[in-house]
Chain A
């Protein structure tokens, strides 16, 4: 990926300024692939559904960098005319004083302020700009992985800070929001209401059984599917930790092996951990399978204490669902 920062007429890079980063705001793109042999995590958006919609609304590439906001309470200011989209958890967005809806595009004029409050119904929101933020990539991606000190605005894995300026393509003369373009205008594009998810705090996740599943006794697998877990507050972008009745593990460990996204790992304390985007590349705890990728966005929007249960799914069904997702979003 080449660094391509187009400069304004004044010669100064303009875009979106971070006034207040909030609890946690990070640059994310589709993720960093091809570097696992060197021990680097993939990163990427935790809620890939809201991420993909934000870019699709703006006719961006699927891989375009945007901001992932966790919990919220952030403020941004436009330095030039911009066309943006906001998806994911409702953070009571306001443009200057006016409330604006999520799951649609909107314009910002130079100087205007976008304020996000605390998430009301989920955990994460996605803020994209037309063309994507023009940030240099580190190892082929801008995805921020704090524990790898990789990605983000300066390539060192830090989250966004007050005063950071995110370069954007100039939007002058584009069709964004300009009158007279009819349906082609990007200034007022919405996600169809039936495609906007309702973030519930009680979800059932489908699991493809794999890895060491055959080593778990059938009574332990039954127990895993029968019970309801509660999401621990200790989870992060590496993994979602669950609390519930203990699952007895077949052995204390396995030879360290590659960890797929969504792996359900059972450490010796018997409390499942679902491995997410910033997971380490290798691990030695037994795993009973992987959560279907199309279900991970539901998990991404859960708050601590939320209820999680599991149901088995056939590999072919999970793959068909993921293929459908990718075909819909990749242009």
Chain B
């Protein structure tokens, strides 16, 4: 079911509008924001960039080919078509294998201790629900996934690590994510996915779009290694 929302449209700069679809983070907004962004990009030739996020979409127009002032009405029409139309729930489900082990996940044991649950329960809770891709940012292909079970929610590390391995699965508050490539980062690392989630030679460079769903599947060390996974921190 598509979430019914109010649309607030505000100018941001001489080329950009921002569309707000909600006032607070709500995972059920993600499919609407994903589909709305795609529609704007596909149906408005004067649009050169859309940046979807948790509650908003930033839209940049080509100043030479756009009627800046007419844009809000155009967008309102697309929005009502989308909300009134039958939800074509086209959001894809990605199944991602994860090897949950201190061998590849430096924060797994500490997080379990902090949350007061056994490691096996951290793994079960993390891998038992479906997450929505609510935003993609921070780095190319870095998908913010919500909403994590509050029993294993944990804040970011006070000092970020200088190096987090590609594929690392992290937790920050009630969100989880997979680092698509090696980078600095402050999320609590509880596992590692052997799949390559960012490939600059491919188009798209990452498999996710806002509104997609993700589910994690625990795998054994053997399966992880057979899928090309590596042990060690980089």
Contacts and interface: CB of A to CB of B under 8 A. Distances in A.
B51 A258 contact: yes
Contacts of B142: 39
A292 interface: yes
Interface residues of B, number: 46
B53 interface: yes
Contacts of A319: 14-15, 63, 68
Nearest to A283: B137
Contacts of B60: 33, 260
Interface centre among A256, A322, A323 (most CB of B within 10 A): A256
Interface stretch (A76-84, A148-156, A159-167, A300-308): A148-156
A237 to B, nearest CB: 16
Contacts of B141: 38-39
Interface string A303-331: 00000000000010011011100110010
A259 B204 contact: no
B95 interface: no
A210 B14 CA distance: 11
B50 to A, nearest CB: 6
A37 interface: yes
A216 interface: no
A156 B204 CA distance: 16
A4 interface: no
Contact of B14 (A36, A208, A327): A208
A225 interface: no
Nearest to B13: A290
Interface in A130-158: 138-139, 147-150, 155-156
B41 interface: yes
B206 interface: yes
Contacts of A147: 139
Interface in B98-149: 135-142, 144
Contacts of B41: 34, 37
A292 B13 CA distance: 8
13 contacts: A37-B50, A38-B204, A139-B200, A149-B181, A256-B137, A256-B144, A257-B58, A258-B53, A260-B13, A261-B13, A293-B13, A319-B68, A323-B63
Given A257-B55, A258-B18, 20 more contacts: A33-B49, A34-B48, A36-B51, A38-B140, A39-B140, A39-B141, A40-B205, A155-B200, A208-B11, A210-B12, A210-B18, A211-B12, A255-B54, A260-B12, A260-B13, A260-B16, A293-B13, A315-B11, A318-B13, A321-B14
